[in-house]
Amino acid sequence: MEAAARGTITSLETLFPPDEAQKAARRVEEAIADRRNELLRVQGFVSDNSSLINLVRTLPEELSHDIMVPFGSAAFFPGRLVHTNEFLVLLGEGYYAERTAKQTMEILQRRGKALEGQVESLKATMVDLEAEAKFFDSTAAEAAEGLVEIREEYVEESEKKAPGSDSLDSKRDDMQMPDEDEEYARIMARLDELEKEELEDGSTSDDDNEENLAGDEVEDDETGDEDEDAESSSSFSTSDLKHEILEIKHKSEHPVQKARGQGQEMLGSIVSKQIGGITEQPLTDQPFSGDSKMQFPAVAHSFSNSGQSISKEVSRSSSSDAKFSFSKIEDSSNSTSRQISDRVSSGHKAFTGSIIEHDLGLPPIQSAKSNLGQASVSSSSKPVSRFKMQKGNR
C-alpha cells in the first residue's frame, strides 16, 4: 500500500481561527449598528422636514392664527401669529433668508431630496456590511465545526483517512467551485499519465490484473454513478459491464481516484453496510494495491447488490471534478450505461444476491475474484479497450 497521499491538511481553524472570525463578525456587527443609528437619525430628519412642509403650506391660509405662545420653559400665553407669509429660513451656517411660504416650501423640498440621498447611501453601506457579517458568521461556524481543508497533489493516492465524511462533503462543497477548472486540467493530465503507466507497467500478475479490473469496474461504476445519476450505477453486475467498465476505467483512472478520494469514505461506509449475503465481502478484506483500486471491487459489487440506494448516494456525493472526467467517459460509456440502465430495471426486480447476466452470453459472475478472473480472460463480443486486450494477452 502506498504511503499516505502527499498533500496538506489545513484545518480551517488555522486559516480562519474561529475566535478571530467571531471577533471580526462582531466588529462588523458594531459597524452595522452604527450605520443603523445614523439611518434612523436621518430618517427622523426626513419626517421632520415633511411635517414642516405641511405646516408651511397651511400657515398662509389665514391672515393670522391664534396660538399659545411658549413663554420660557413652562408657560404659554395666548397670542396671534401674523405675517403668515413671511418666513425666515435657516440656510445653514448661521445664514437666514426671508422668504415667502412658497419659496420656503421649495427650499424645504430641496433639503428633503438631499436627505433622501443620504439615506440611500447609508442603506447601501449597510447592505455591504451585512454581507460581510454573514460571511464572517458562516466562516466562524464552519471553523468551529472543525472543518479541514484537504489539498492533495495529483499522485497515485492510497486510501486516505480523511476526517469524516462530513468534512469531505463540506470540503467538497467549499472547494468545488474554485477547483473545477484546475481539476479538469489535472484530470486530463492524470489520464495521460495513467495511460502511460498502464502501458509501461504491464501486468504485475493475473490476480492484480483481476483486482485492478475489478477495481476498474468498481471505479467506473462509481464514476458512472456520479455522472449518470439515475442511470447505471446500481446493477453493474454483468461481466460485460465489467468489460465496458474496465475500458472506461482505464481512461478514467485519474479522475476516479480523485473522486474516489472524496467519495471514498462514504462508499466505504455504504459498502460495509450494504454488502450482505454477497460473496464480494472478502474483497473488502483484500489488501489494497498501490492503485487503491481495490476498494472499488467491493464497492462495485455492493452497488450491484444494494441496488439503487447506493448508486443514489454515490451520485449525490459525487464531486464536480469526477464529473469532468466522466463527461469524457460518458461518451465512451453511453452504450454501457444504456445497457446498465436496462439491466438496472431488471436487476431491481429480480435480484437474487448473485450477479448473473445471461443476456449477453457472458460467463456469470459468482464472486468477485473468480468473476474477475473470468472477466479478465473471458472473450466478449463487445469491443474492449486496447489496454484490456493487452492485459489479456500478457
Partner 1 sequence: MASSPAAVRELQQDLESQANALSKIQKDIAKNHQVRKQYTIQLGENELVLTELELLNENSNVYKLIGPVLVKQDIAEANANVRKRIEYISVELKRLDGTLQDSEDKQNSKKESVLQLQQKIQTLQAGKSKS
Contacts of partner 1 in 181-200 (CB under 8 A):
none
Give yes or no for residue 96 binding partner 1 (CB under 8 A): yes
Give yes or no for residue 88 binding partner 1 (CB under 8 A): yes
Is the CB of 76 or the CB of 96 nearer to partner 1?
Answer: 96
Give yes or no for residue 98 binding partner 1 (CB under 8 A): yes
Give yes or no for residue 107 binding partner 1 (CB under 8 A): yes
Q: Which of 24, 28, 32, 111 binds partner 1 (CB under 8 A)?
A: 111
**Residue 92 Cβ, how far from partner 1 at the closest point, in Å?**
4
Is the CB of 106 or the CB of 207 nearer to partner 1?
Answer: 106
Q: E strand or H helix at 370, and its extent?
A: helix 368-377
- Choices 77-85, 86-94, 165-173, 278-286 (CB under 8 A): range interacting with partner 1: 86-94
Is the CB of 10 or the CB of 96 nearer to partner 1?
Answer: 96
Give yes or no for residue 343 binding partner 1 (CB under 8 A): no
Give yes or no for residue 72 binding partner 1 (CB under 8 A): no
Query: What's the grid cell of residue 280?
Result: 464480494
Q: Which of 33, 97, 185, 389 binds partner 1 (CB under 8 A)?
A: 97
- Which residue has cell 457579517? 133
- Choices 37-45, 91-99, 212-220, 272-280 (CB under 8 A): range interacting with partner 1: 91-99
Distance separating alpha carbons of residues 368 and 300, to the nearest angstrom: 10
Distance separating alpha carbons of residues 187 and 258, to the nearest angstrom: 8
HSE-CB for 92 with a 13 A CA cutoff: 3
- Choices 20-28, 93-101, 162-170, 200-208 (CB under 8 A): range interacting with partner 1: 93-101
Distance separating alpha carbons of residues 376 and 126, to the nearest angstrom: 65
Give yes or no for residue 91 binding partner 1 (CB under 8 A): yes
Is the CB of 94 or the CB of 287 nearer to partner 1?
Answer: 94
Q: Residue 294 contacts by C-beta under 8 Å, 6 or more apart in sequence?
A: 211, 214, 215, 283, 286, 287, 288
Is the CB of 81 or the CB of 88 nearer to partner 1?
Answer: 88
Give yes or no for residue 48 binding partner 1 (CB under 8 A): no
Size of the site for partner 1 (CB under 8 A): 15
CB crowding 122-160: b at 16 or more within 10 Å, else e: beeebeebeebbeebbebbebbeeebbbbebebebbbbb
Give yes or no for residue 41 binding partner 1 (CB under 8 A): no
- Choices 106-114, 135-143, 187-195, 270-278 (CB under 8 A): range interacting with partner 1: 106-114
Give yes or no for residue 99 binding partner 1 (CB under 8 A): yes
What secondary structure does DSSP assign to 230-284, as a single string? SSSSTTTT-HHHHHHHHHHHHHHHHHHHHHHHHHHHHHHHHHHHH--S-TTHHHH
Name the nearest CA neighbour of 314 among 248, 184, 223. Answer: 223
- Which residue has cell 468477485? 368
CB atoms within 10 A of CB 260: 26
**Residue 79 Cβ, how far from partner 1 at the closest point, in Å?**
20
**Residue 52 Cβ, how far from partner 1 at the closest point, in Å?**
16
Q: What are phi and psi of 48, to 5 degrees?
A: -60, -45
Name the nearest CA neighbour of 295 among 280, 283, 303. Answer: 283
Name the nearest CA neighbour of 78 among 86, 87, 69. Answer: 69
- Choices 7-15, 107-115, 295-303, 368-376 (CB under 8 A): range interacting with partner 1: 107-115
Contacts of partner 1 in 304-333 (CB under 8 A):
none
Is the CB of 109 or the CB of 346 nearer to partner 1?
Answer: 109
- Choices 8-16, 110-118, 282-290, 316-324 (CB under 8 A): range interacting with partner 1: 110-118
Q: Which residues in this chain contact partner 1 in the complex, by CB under 8 A?
A: 88, 91-99, 106-107, 110-111, 114
